[in-house]
Amino acid sequence: MEKKIKTVRTKFVKMRMNDSEYEHLEKLWKNTTHRHLSTYLRKICLQQPVIVKYRNQSADDFLSSMLQLKKDLNGISNNFNQAVKKLHILEKIPEFRTWLILNESLQRAVNANVEEIKFRIAQLYDEWLLK
């Protein structure tokens, strides 16, 4: 197994820019996968390939809608857990009947959100198949 030899960089290159030039450079750098500006500049100066980030807008839209659905499901599950805890401490039957009615509406809400998630996933899958 070969060991990678780590090179120490001892030479500094200084450069002056105005604000607009630096903002433009920073914008170009942030659209790449490089974490450090120095790495990006070194690759540009040495004419090495730079990997540019590619954003899939449909995937971003899907992710944001999934995050909203996740928040909705978390809220519904919290309400459901509270209802179950209350069920364990109930002593009277009329309260139990009320809980059953509330439970049915919560169950319908959960099922509707799950169906929405299934639809969105199928929709994104179909979009990716076309590409």
Nearest to 25 by CA among 61, 56, 50: 50
Instruction: Report pTM.
Output: 0.43
Q: Who's near 24: CB < 8 A, 6+ residues apart?
A: none
Residue appearing with tokens 């039957």? 93
CB 120 within 8 A of CB 61: no
For the segment 71-108, what is each residue's pLDDT rounded down to a tens digit? 887 787 778 778 777 766 766 667 777 777 777 788 78
Q: What is the pLDDT of residue 98?
A: 76
